[in-house]
């Protein structure tokens, strides 16, 4: 009984064909969007770190020493 409460209606119905393909495509699309957003944040953070390091070197305040 507990397993049927936790499962979504699509999983419990044993959907096949177009319905299952649409659900899988939607999940894949959302995963791609999520990865793109996370990569955007990561690249922005790397950009800021490089810019801060370059600014520190120009000011003679290199923190690596």
What pLDDT, on a 0 to 100 scale, did the predictor assign at position 9?
64
Question: What is the per-residue pLDDT across 8-63, written as a single tens digit (0 to 9) for each?
Answer: 666 656 667 787 788 889 999 999 999 999 999 999 999 999 999 999 888 886 55
The tally of domains found in the chain comes to: 1
Whether residue 51 lies inside any domain: the answer is: yes
Q: What angle do CA 26, 29, 34 make, to 5 degrees?
A: 125
Q: How far apart are CA 35 and CA 44, in angstroms?
A: 14
In a domain, 64, yes or no: no
4 falls within a domain: no
Kindly state whether residue 6 falls inside one of the protein's structural domains. Answer: no
Q: Which domain holds residue 38?
A: 13-59
């Amino acid at each position: 009984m507990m397993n049927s409460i936790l499962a979504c209606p699509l999983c419990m119905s044993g959907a096949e064909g177009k319905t299952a393909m649409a659900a899988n495509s939607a999940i894949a699309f959302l995963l791609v969007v999520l990865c793109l957003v996370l990569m955007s944040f990561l690249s922005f953070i790397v950009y800021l770190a490089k810019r801060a390091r370059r600014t520190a070197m120009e000011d003679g305040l290199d923190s690596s020493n």
